[in-house]
Amino acid sequence: MKYTIFLFLLFNASISFGQQNFVAIDSLSSECSNTLSEEYQKKFETINKNIVLKKAAEKKLVKELYSEMQQVFLEKIKQKEFICNKGLDKYLKELMDEVLTRNKINTQDYKILLSKDSKINAYNTGDGTIVINYGLFLAVENEDELVFVISHEIGHQFLNHVKNGIETYAKLSRSESIIAKTKEIQRQKYGKATKATNLMKNIVYEDYEKRRKKEIEADSIGFVFYGKTLRNPKAAVDILAKLDLSDIERDSLTVADYKFIFERNGFVLKQKYFNEEKSLFSKYDKMKGINVDSLKSHPDCATRIKLIEKKLEAKFSETYSSPKVFSEIKKNSIYQNLYNLYSLKQYGISLYESLKLYKKQTDDPVLQKIIYLNLLKIYESRINYTINRYVPAHDNLNNSDSLNRFVSYLNNIKISDFETIINNFKS
């Protein structure tokens, strides 16, 4: 209870930081959540009734796929993963409607939502909904870049990419060739796993080529939509270049950083806390043969940039739109994303990202309190043996060395030392 009260006081009061005041935007209220849930349940019912496919098996699978997607989306609403804020909702809708009206597209067919997800991304759900992750504000530097992202997602919807993708997958999985190959693998006495993996890779890479084509198509028509807004066309290239680098971790935490941050009042961290049990994780190294980059949500940005650059005029303005409302969102985006991670119970990542900032800004009161809150939650999860729910797993395939070191640290540190760190940080 005391943690909840502390959280309320922290994020519902203006916290001074130099000339900046930060007030976190809270998640969905219960009333807003219920309204949104009802709206999408009705929308999904309509979509499911209007599914038309000739083959019964394909229609059944499409319905199953839609049902799974819809349940995931409704669960996100239930877990309050979307932000309900009148000012932000109005602002994003105005940006979306600007693109739609300039291109004579019915605004009633589209809705835009703001997710608490910290990933630098946006997506289209296929039912007219565009979702902007709050993490996108870490990348966009001006409003024009944000509007191009919205235009790109409108392009996906306009071209029915989600609907067509689901139906294509249903046809592929029910195709005679895939069924025959699957049966052939099942009859094999040896090497089933290898052959199944190879079949999976073929499907994945074929899907990658299709997704790559769809992204280029959405860029192309999205750029046309965006052009009607008369905003700076170079923003399209700028944001794609940023997305291309979005998977690269730009900072890290070394053992020296942990010592600098946590060694206070005579407390000394033990080197063994950072040791990794290689034998437990070495099996994951064998999976590195799969090209991780080919599975990015927005693949091959370099190629897409070149295609858009061909459409740019030789001369363009260096001026970008950045009104006050955008500047305020951008200014607070780092803190807000840390708070979003905390409110989504991703305490490990919230702490990890906070520490990377804090080592350079040890006098920042907002970071201090976010770190303290995350430490409390992770400590509690250690006591209750539930830390794996809130801290990412050790992963040699996808994690950086820095993140794996962080995971080892949180799992290895003695409870008594954890308590000392929390008390030192509190003071």
| pLDDT one-digit tens code per residue, 205-244 | 556 677 788 889 999 999 999 999 989 999 999 999 998 8
Question: 293-307, 313-327, 328-342: lowest mean pLDDT where?
Answer: 293-307
For the cut 80, the answer to whether the pLDDT of residue 186 exceeds it is no
pLDDT attached to residue 319? 84
Average pLDDT over residues 124-130: 94
Give the predicted TM-score (pTM) of the model.
0.85
Q: Which of 59-63, 83-87, 285-289, 324-328 has the lowest mean pLDDT?
A: 285-289
Percent of the chain with pLDDT over 90: 56
Kindly tell me the burial class for residue 4, based on how many C-beta atoms sit within 10 Å of its own C-beta (0-12, 13-18, 19 or more).
Answer: exposed
**Is pLDDT larger for residue 194 or for residue 168?**
168
Q: What is the pLDDT of residues 356-414, one digit of tens each?
A: 999 999 999 999 999 999 999 999 999 999 999 999 998 888 889 999 999 999 999 99
For 132-146, 152-166, 170-184, which range has the lowest pLDDT when averaged over its residues? 170-184
- Structure tokens belonging to residue 276: 């990794």
Q: How far is CA 230 from CA 5, 18, 97, 237, 252, in A?
A: 48, 37, 14, 15, 40
Across residues 16-33, what is the average pLDDT?
A: 65
Inter-CA distances, 422 with 258, 419, 426, Å: 14, 5, 6
Q: Is the pLDDT of residue 49 over 50?
A: yes
Residue 153 near residue 218, CB atoms below 8 Å: yes
Long-range contacts for 173-179 (Cβ within 8 Å, ≥24 apart)? Answer: 173/61, 174/55, 174/57, 174/58, 174/61, 178/203
